Structure 1
Amino acid sequence: MTDAVPTPPATLVIFGATGDLTRRLLIPAIINLTRSGLVGDDLHILGIGIDQGDDEMLRGKLDDFLAGLGGDQPLSKDEAWLRLRKRISYLAGDFTKDEIYGEIGKRLNGNAAFYLAVPPRFFGEIVERLAANKLTTEGENCFRRIAIEKPFGTDLASAKALNAQILSKVAESQVYRLDHFLGKETVQNLMTARFANMMIEALWNNRYIDNVQITAAEIVDVGSRGAFYDATGALRDMVPNHLFQLLAMIAMEPPNSFDAEAIRNEKSKVLKALRVYTPEEAKTHGVRGVYTAGKLNGADITAYHDTPQVAPGSKTETFVALKLYADTWRWAGVPFYLRTGKAMTARDTEIVVTFQPVPFAQFRETEVNRRLPPNRLIIQVQPDEGMSMEISIKSPGLSVDTVPVSLDFRYADQFDIGKMTGYESLIYDLMIGDQTLFQRADGIEAGWAAVQPFLDLWAKEGEPEAYAPGTMGPACADELIERDNRHWHDIGAIAKKT
């Protein structure tokens, strides 16, 4: 981002300004952009919230939070924050009433972006009220954009309805549907790694790739989010958004340019090509689990079913694993194994591309029928962003035998990215009008279509299989992949090496 131009003058209106997302991620990201010169003194932030107070109330809340960041040099004392702080204002009011929108209109003069850091049930209503009060009307030199956090819908029908509601009031070009995973450096680097390196792209097809695994594992439990999580579950929370976006970037065809629409076209094609299973197929291609009570890293974990605000007899899953296919010429026959869960062995989001094994091991001291370990490309999204390539080499000594080794790259070894939240690129692109990293309506709906058979099946029958905290998930997840004579990549393996 060092060669990027500063954002144009604008007002960023944040609905839900006193919430957790704003103080933990949005404001630190804007501070980083300010420090790097990508946001100037002509960006103003207008916070909207239900809490009573004035400008200093919001600034003070942010001061208190930022004081706990940065170690010996608190972020609350950072020069970039002190510059930004002066340009933050606050409006208290009910954003389900028209009165607050009239007040917002009085504060706007030119470009504006509206960030909906609020519960999903308010997305459609806020957009409708913004439009009704003419706050979304664009001029020749005046943009009006809307950033919407996930989850975008709870199933295919609700996603279609929400898209229809929003797009009846504003154009698709004004809507920025966020997935914060796409702000990660490694995720953005996927396209560069593929399309700037012939040695990778030449092998990127079903002739050379055996399978792809995408994992998003968390060590945290549901905690105080019982009410939200019980209505959502692991599949809705992670698969049609986070994991499918990673899958789309892995499986997309080379775009004819790096224009936003060209890239989004190719990503949407992948999501539309995901095989939609019959109810019977869904039974054998998806499994789910729920964590029990136990210990994790020395701490006691309460069983999900005993979590406050989780309904008695809940069948909500805290773990899900799927086997999917993208029915395209490039990926025909290559399974994509996806899994995500809470209270697992390690915090680990990664993509593992396993290549086909060599057909014949013609080495002395090596049995002819021995299968050498396959090459793997491991793309680590978090926590230690980077890439590893697993290859085989000759072991030292007089005999000719092979051993696996890993060629590793870590972003932190080469670049200073330690203070990034992952939202910097997304906020910057929102303000300059680049939709490359944002989801489009058709892609959202295609993702929900692919998981709808599992949602329908699990709503009618079966219960999640129990798994202990600190494990790699339920036994049924291992069975899902092992019946194909494959195995899951070890969660946290990269972190263990470092």
Structure 2
Amino acid sequence: MKDKMNDCPGVAKDVKSSDPCVIAIFGITGDLARKKILPALYNLFKMGLLNPRTRIIGIGRRKYSNIEYNEYIKSSATDAAGAESQAAADFIAMNDYCCADFNLPYEYAGIKDFLKKTAVKYKICDFLYYLSTPPADFERIITLIHDSGLSKPDFLDISCAGAFVRVVIEKPYGYDIDSAKSLNRKVLSIFSEDQIYRIDHYLGKETVQNIMIFRFINGIFEPIWNQNYIDNVQIRVFESEGIGSRANYFDRSGIIRDIIQNHSLQMLSMIAMEPPASMDADSVRNEKLKVFQSMRPFDGSNPSSSLAAGQYAAGEIGGAPVPAYTDESNIDKNSETETFAAIKLLIDNWRWAGVPFYLTAAKRMPERLTEVIVTFKPAPHLIFNNFCHVSEQVSNKLVIRVQPDEGISLKILCKKPGFEMGLHTVSMDFNYSSAFDGALPEAYERLILDALNGDATLFMRSDEIEAAWDYITPILNCLKNREVKVKKYAAGSLGPELCGFFGLNIC
């Protein structure tokens, strides 16, 4: 039976539904909008968290009639079972389409007129611009939003005291430290920091959010959450898929830019941060920034001591053959883009001095999983060695499973039943699906609602972005200059040579 005695349920009134807003999605016909943003908005609407007076304006180059666009919204936002429901019909009615090329300056007169007429008609003053576009377009779109007068709500002919304009920018935010700084300069010259919502959807995942609850509410863990008791921390982001239709983007980026620079480092910051003074956005982000600023710079004089890289060759996933990376569509046969990377990272502060953090990310692994493994130091003396013939030290492990099967498990050793003194590793498990009723909210649902409500806690601040790129850029330069060899590993394998590279089985 579930223990309800100490529940702090977070009563429904604390979940603030959004005020009416004009949400303009640049790149509405792209995969991100179709697969993530529109379904998230629809689910928020069904839950009563998206104000029914909200208007969603899709902006894209594709030509649609009203009927065609309504069908696009229906097929994107709703599942087959609910496509004909009244909720689906009401949501579809909240959507309009503005056909325009958002990269062309002269198109913004039409975009501005469309948004203005919508806002005046429905008496809405607040605007959220969502850049669901290729990263190369971010700076240009931001500039054109400003040049056309859309960066402030005063372009409307109605009174709008206290109104807001906010912008959501997807990752990757920059390509390296120089491009990230350039983008920050441009965006911050137009919008203030509290108007900018740089999104990393991993921060919206329940298990990632739970890291702070786990650490700072449960008093048994914080006293041992330091270099005195923790031996190492692994952060693993594995995908069984290849690159799919993202060849042009991925071959230019690689797994370090795609995963480690953002998802992995954000999870690291939440594992390693000090307790914030409060849960307001800046208090949390200040502590995350301190982690990034404490990371020891990458040692370029001996790169192979803290970096391993690989690229998948042909192999099998789930019993089916899959091609090598260089045989994927639109990939150069001589490409050396990494699809596997493992980084050994140190944090030079009192809490974490000497504790290695291993950040590993890869494509074409045997299974899809994201998890954090905290390995504690072993007992100082094995008094049972004479009985159990333990050949090596044994350690407890705390595993935070982000996906799939979200949950937390603590691995401990116990005695096997019987007359002999035998040891066996067992898990004390918490699983979201068995502990709570109902499905977990999707990350984009939480983050979009937070952006509408002005809560930036789970979004990345400009100084966080630059600090992360400041650490990662020398690693990218090392690979670019071929100072570390990109080795091959068979798709569907764990790559034992790579996984044991630091003298630890990091896979």
* TM-align CA RMSD: 1.9
Distance 1:315 1:204, change over 3 A: same
Distance 1:474 1:288, change over 3 A: farther
Query: Does the CA contact (< 8 Å) of 1:216 and 1:349 recur in 2?
Result: yes
Distance 1:332 1:354, change over 3 A: same
Whole-angstrom CA distance in 2 between matches of 1:77 and 1:20: 23
Partner residue, 1:496 = none
Partner residue, 1:479 = 501
User: Could you tell me which amino acid in structure 1 is paired with residue 112 of structure 2?
Assistant: G
Of 400-409 and 253-262, deviating more is 400-409
Partner residue, 2:189 = 168
Which residue of 416, 424, 431 corresponds with 1:403?
A: 424
User: Could you tell me which amino acid in structure 2 is paired with residue 124 of structure 1?
Assistant: E
**SS of aligned partner of 1:428:** helix
**SS of aligned partner of 2:414:** strand
Query: Does the CA contact (< 8 Å) of 1:101 and 1:133 recur in 2?
Result: no
Distance 1:310 1:369, change over 3 A: closer
Which residue of 239, 257, 260 corresponds with 1:239?
A: 260
Whole-angstrom CA distance in 2 between matches of 1:300 and 1:270: 42
- By how many angstroms is 1:140 displaced? 4.2
- By how many angstroms is 1:201 displaced? 1.1
Is 1:280–2:318 an aligned residue pair?
no
Is 1:81–2:81 an aligned residue pair?
no
Q: Deviations over 1:8-37 (max 9, x none)?
A: 111111111111111211121122212222
User: Could you tell me which amino acid in structure 1 is paired with residue 48 of structure 2?
Assistant: G
Whole-angstrom CA distance in 2 between matches of 1:12 and 1:473: 45
Partner residue, 2:157 = none
Which residue of 305, 315, 326 corresponds with 1:305?
A: 326
Distance 1:306 1:236, change over 3 A: same
Which residue of 126, 129, 148 corresponds with 2:141?
A: 126
Q: Deviations over 1:339-380 (max 9, x none)?
A: 111111110000000011111222486358754521111000
**Structure 2 unpaired stretches of 5+:** 1-9, 154-159
User: Could you tell me which amino acid in structure 1 is paired with residue 28 of structure 2?
Assistant: A
Is 1:393–2:414 an aligned residue pair?
yes
Of 448-457 and 240-249, deviating more is 448-457
Partner residue, 2:225 = 204
Distance 1:100 1:314, change over 3 A: farther
Partner residue, 1:112 = 127
**SS of aligned partner of 1:366:** helix
Which residue of 144, 164, 168 corresponds with 1:143?
A: 164
Is 1:258–2:276 an aligned residue pair?
no
Q: Deviations over 1:244-290 (max 9, x none)?
A: 00000100000000111100000111111111123113332111101
- By how many angstroms is 1:315 displaced? 1.2
- By how many angstroms is 1:62 displaced? 2.4
Partner residue, 1:29 = 40
Which residue of 90, 94, 99 corresponds with 2:97?
A: 90
Partner residue, 2:6 = none
Query: Does the CA contact (< 8 Å) of 1:49 and 1:94 recur in 2?
Result: yes
Is 1:249–2:279 an aligned residue pair?
no
**Aligned runs of 1:235-384 on 2, under 5 Å?**
235-363=256-384, 366=387, 371-384=392-405
- By how many angstroms is 1:417 displaced? 5.0
Q: Deviations over 1:467-493 (max 9, x none)?
A: 00111136233222x1xxx3225xxxx
Distance 1:291 1:364, change over 3 A: closer
**SS of aligned partner of 1:231:** helix
Whole-angstrom CA distance in 1 between matches of 2:407 and 2:382: 30
Query: Does the CA contact (< 8 Å) of 1:148 and 1:176 recur in 2?
Result: yes
Partner residue, 2:240 = 219
Distance 1:50 1:19, change over 3 A: same
Whole-angstrom CA distance in 2 between matches of 1:195 and 1:132: 45
Query: Does the CA contact (< 8 Å) of 2:372 and 2:401 recur in 1?
Result: yes
Of 140-149 and 347-356, deviating more is 140-149
**Aligned runs of 1:41-60 on 2, under 5 Å?**
41-60=52-71
Q: How many aligned positions are there?
A: 481
Distance 1:41 1:66, change over 3 A: closer
Query: Does the CA contact (< 8 Å) of 2:388 and 2:422 recur in 1?
Result: no
Distance 1:198 1:335, change over 3 A: same
Whole-angstrom CA distance in 2 between matches of 1:422 and 1:58: 26
Query: Does the CA contact (< 8 Å) of 2:100 and 2:111 recur in 1?
Result: no
User: Could you tell me which amino acid in structure 2 is paired with residue 53 of structure 1?
Assistant: Y
Partner residue, 2:112 = 102
- By how many angstroms is 1:127 displaced? 1.2
Of 375-384 and 387-396, deviating more is 387-396
**SS of aligned partner of 2:221:** helix
Whole-angstrom CA distance in 2 between matches of 1:55 and 1:271: 48
**SS of aligned partner of 1:191:** helix
- By how many angstroms is 1:447 displaced? 0.7
Whole-angstrom CA distance in 2 between matches of 1:202 and 1:78: 52
- By how many angstroms is 1:404 displaced? 1.3
Whole-angstrom CA distance in 1 between matches of 2:315 and 2:71: 39
- By how many angstroms is 1:171 displaced? 0.5
Query: Does the CA contact (< 8 Å) of 2:39 and 2:76 recur in 1?
Result: no
User: Could you tell me which amino acid in structure 1 is paired with residue 50 of structure 2?
Assistant: V
Whole-angstrom CA distance in 2 between matches of 1:295 and 1:287: 23
Is 1:5–2:16 an aligned residue pair?
yes
Partner residue, 1:464 = 486
- By how many angstroms is 1:455 displaced? 0.9
Q: Deviations over 1:107-129 (max 9, x none)?
A: 33301100000001111111111
Q: Deviations over 1:374-411 (max 9, x none)?
A: 11110000111111111122221234443211011111
User: Could you tell me which amino acid in structure 1 is paired with residue 139 of structure 2?
Assistant: G
